[in-house]
Structure 1
Amino acid sequence: MKRILINSIVCAILSSCLGCTVAAQVSDTNITEEEIGEHLAFLTSSKTKGRYPGTAGNRRVVKYIRTEFEHYGLKNFHGDYLQQFKAKLRRADEGKSAKEVKTWNVVGYIEGNDNHYKKEYVVIGAHYDHLGHGGPSSKKPESDEIHPGADDNASGVSALLEIAEKLARNRYMLDRSVIFVAFGAEEQGLLGSKYFVENLPVAKERVKLMINMDMIGRLNAEKQIYMGGAGTFPGGVELMTELGIQMGLNPVVHAGEVGGSDHVSFYKEGISAIGLHTGGHPEYHRPEDTMDLINISGEKTIAEYIYKVLLRVVNENYDLTFIPQD
């Protein structure tokens, strides 16, 4: 009788532990406000000093993103997550030669499961760099304050990381493969995305769509999420509208108006591309673009929305062909 009792207790403990493990695994698959907040806190911290290319703060961010990609189990191309390139920094005096610094794109991917369609790729990206202490692109050029760039674009990177983690946990749902890219030197003229497109790790004709997140941290009371380029792939306008409404968002969808962020580099090379943002604000490119102004709950909703979009377009039944816009 004692042995039976002991065995029952052991089984109960094991069952409880197993339940905790399963619960933890389920929790790990979620996009959470807590983790978005943790990413934002690091990206906007005094240690990263505005994430300016060529600085120690910029390198800290590159290492952080690389470590996260590796932790999620993303694969890398050619044995490394880092794609190094040289960036010429903008100057207020265009007559002087620009300083050239070393920086990186951080690249990882999740392979699809269909023997045919896993050779096709959807790219999702966000730029991680910002203005450091200001410089010629600052809207407050007289200031030497750190520009933390919480919305621009710590918001996009934190969402990118959360989506990568969730998709990696659910990789069995993918037919096509997904490439995640954190772009460097966007603020210097889309340099990271230009370099990536010119040095793709896969054949260009296999890249079927690019989704870009740049300034998605200020979802307003009307829950408006803006996007351009939805008409560059079949059914894009309808898809983005339908899934946005399902998520309780108010999607403002443009077929054309591809915009001015990293997705433009893809569109110019004949690759379908869509960019998402939550609109401009007075703190844009100023030291006041701080984490306390981020709508973390709203960003979580947007990240879940983009995750659902990804699941739809990676399906083998979704036709992905390039549609040029006027």
Structure 2
Amino acid sequence: MRSIPMIFLIILMFSCKEAKIPVITMKEDVSVLANDSLGGRKTGSDYEKKAAKYIAKRFEGLKLQPKGVNGFFQKFTFKPSKNPHQEAEFTSESSDSTQTGENVMAYLDNQAENIVVIGAHYDHLGMGGEGSLFGDGPAIHNGADDNASGVAMMLHLAEKLQQHGAPKSNNYLFIAFSGEEEGLLGSNYFVKHPTIDTKNVTYMINMDMVGRLNKENTLAVYGVGTSPIFKGVVNKNAGVLNIIENESGVGPSDHTSFYLADIPVLHFFTGQHEDYHKPSDDIEKVNFEGMEIVSNYIFKIIKDLDSENKMQFQKTKNESEVVPDFKVTLGVVPDYLFGGKGMRIDGVSEDKPAQKAGLQKGDVVVKMGNLGITDMMSYMNSLSKFEKGQTTTVTIDRAGELKEVEVTF
């Protein structure tokens, strides 16, 4: 197990009011948050509390105002849910059956009328358990991409907005959310118990898994339909990035809580990968040059939107309500950034139908039985037609060559 005394040194430096605060890079922030010494940052654990203190000291070092209930912190108590990304039962009473998480919040007050919320969750899975895709017993899930990367990018943006000639027409609230992995708890709680007047929030930016920009520079941006102005601004500033747009304001991350409160949202995501919710999601696999590209892109969007009045909110199609029910799984990680025809496989799970049939990472599923696959929705619709134990022919495109394999669910 690696140890990292740097976290204590940095906190000590921040605690000395006379000390000059050094510039801390995104790589250094990820190195701290995704280190074994923070034990996977499980919601409510002592390890998560250490991570929260680190983030608070970073906010303090950036000379941001505390905006929690108790300094930088906003605690909430809840009864754990075994249904990921579902609303939890909050309670004011602590007992053996409850846990306590804490959001970490800071404010940049430009004496403006409107507020922009910039957030990222900092919790992860601890030693695994519920939500883990690792089958070999307890192990530290450091979550370098999920979501130390998002927190580091939020801190990077906070530094830019505070110190480098940033826009002054809005105030900025920075939130490191707790409990996202338990069901969007921290963002849900904040929206219900805000420490600001949410009527003044013009839009919310969320970053969740922004540390794995691929060779094609593909970035998914969700929520582009939640305000009429977003689409143009998102594409105008793309630069070298290949933007995959998604209009919906609903998804499995903290922007959803704000969208459901009628606040326009933009959520940034560099894509799923085979290390998702596994101990192998570690710092060695983070693309820090890619993080700089994404962070600069988001900052350009913020600058562009600064000249606008309060964003107009509009409802989008709730895609989670039309996802079909299915009783079987292929056992793959889809490539959510794939813009071609079909469903490209980004990872294959051990001892599942896809692996047994010889499917590989990079294969594009174009047909299941007699059902054509054009995108993720048609793939899920196709899965809903099959029963456990049933065998069908799956057609794949492997490096430009069509192949047929038999798959038994």
Task: Pick the aligned partner of 1:304 from 296, 310, 314.
Answer: 296
Counterpart code for 2:127: H
> Does the CA-based 8 Å contact 2:153-2:291 persist in structure 1?
yes
Q: How far, CA to CA, are the matches of 2:162 and 2:228 in structure 1? A: 26
**Unpaired segments ≥5 residues, structure 1:** 1-23, 29-33
Task: Pick the aligned partner of 2:236 from 235, 239, 242.
Answer: 242
Q: Deviations over 1:169-189 (max 9, x none)?
A: 136631111110000000000
Q: How far, CA to CA, are the matches of 2:173 and 2:256 in structure 1? A: 17
Counterpart code for 2:178: G
TM-score norm. by structure 2 comes to 0.66
Q: Deviations over 1:56-96 (max 9, x none)?
A: 2111100000000011011123661111111433459xxxx
Q: Structure 1 residues 141 and 75, CA, compared in 2 at 3 Å: closer, same or farther? A: same
The equivalent residue for 2:25 is 35
Q: How far, CA to CA, are the matches of 1:141 and 1:265 in structure 2? A: 31
The equivalent residue for 2:71 is 80
Question: Does the residue aligned with 1:154 lie in a helix, a strand or coil?
Answer: helix
* C-alpha RMSD of the superposition: 2.2
Q: How far, CA to CA, are the matches of 2:249 and 2:46 in structure 1? A: 36
Q: Structure 1 residues 270 and 237, CA, compared in 2 at 3 Å: closer, same or farther? A: same
Q: Deviations over 1:181-202 (max 9, x none)?
A: 0000000000000001011112
> Does the CA-based 8 Å contact 2:39-2:142 persist in structure 1?
yes
Q: How far, CA to CA, are the matches of 1:292 and 1:233 in structure 2? A: 37
Counterpart code for 1:188: E
> Does the CA-based 8 Å contact 1:90-1:98 persist in structure 2?
no
> Does the CA-based 8 Å contact 1:272-1:321 persist in structure 2?
yes
Q: Structure 1 residues 49 and 257, CA, compared in 2 at 3 Å: closer, same or farther? A: same
Task: Pick the aligned partner of 1:208 from 198, 202, 217.
Answer: 202
Q: How far, CA to CA, are the matches of 1:152 and 1:160 in structure 2? A: 13
Q: Structure 1 residues 140 and 283, CA, compared in 2 at 3 Å: closer, same or farther? A: same
Q: How far, CA to CA, are the matches of 1:281 and 1:119 in structure 2? A: 40
Q: How far, CA to CA, are the matches of 1:267 and 1:209 in structure 2? A: 9
How far off its partner does 1:257 sit? 5.7
Q: How far, CA to CA, are the matches of 1:301 and 1:59 in structure 2? A: 30
> Does the CA-based 8 Å contact 1:91-1:98 persist in structure 2?
no
**Unpaired segments ≥5 residues, structure 2:** 1-19, 84-94, 318-409
Counterpart code for 1:100: T
- Overall identity of the aligned pairs, in %: 35
TM-score norm. by structure 1 comes to 0.83
Q: Which has the higher helix share?
A: 1
Equivalent runs, 1:162-311 vs 2, <5 Å: 162-170=156-164, 173-245=167-239, 248-256=240-248, 258-311=250-303
> In the comparison of the two structures, how many residue pairs are matched?
286
Equivalent runs, 1:115-134 vs 2, <5 Å: 118-134=112-128
The equivalent residue for 2:395 is none
Q: Structure 1 residues 91 and 234, CA, compared in 2 at 3 Å: closer, same or farther? A: closer
The equivalent residue for 1:21 is none
User: Is 2:144 aligned against 1:153?
Assistant: no
Q: Structure 1 residues 141 and 88, CA, compared in 2 at 3 Å: closer, same or farther? A: farther
Question: Does the residue aligned with 1:231 lie in a helix, a strand or coil?
Answer: coil
Question: Comparing 219-228 with 75-84, which one deviates more in the overlay?
Answer: 75-84
Task: Pick the aligned partner of 1:89 from 80, 84, 87.
Answer: 80
Q: Structure 1 residues 172 and 153, CA, compared in 2 at 3 Å: closer, same or farther? A: closer
Question: Does the residue aligned with 1:244 lie in a helix, a strand or coil?
Answer: coil
Counterpart code for 2:98: E
Q: Deviations over 1:281-302 (max 9, x none)?
A: 1111011111111001001111
Q: How far, CA to CA, are the matches of 1:173 and 1:257 in structure 2? A: 25
Question: Comparing 80-89 with 185-194, which one deviates more in the overlay?
Answer: 80-89
User: Is 2:315 aligned against 1:324?
Assistant: yes
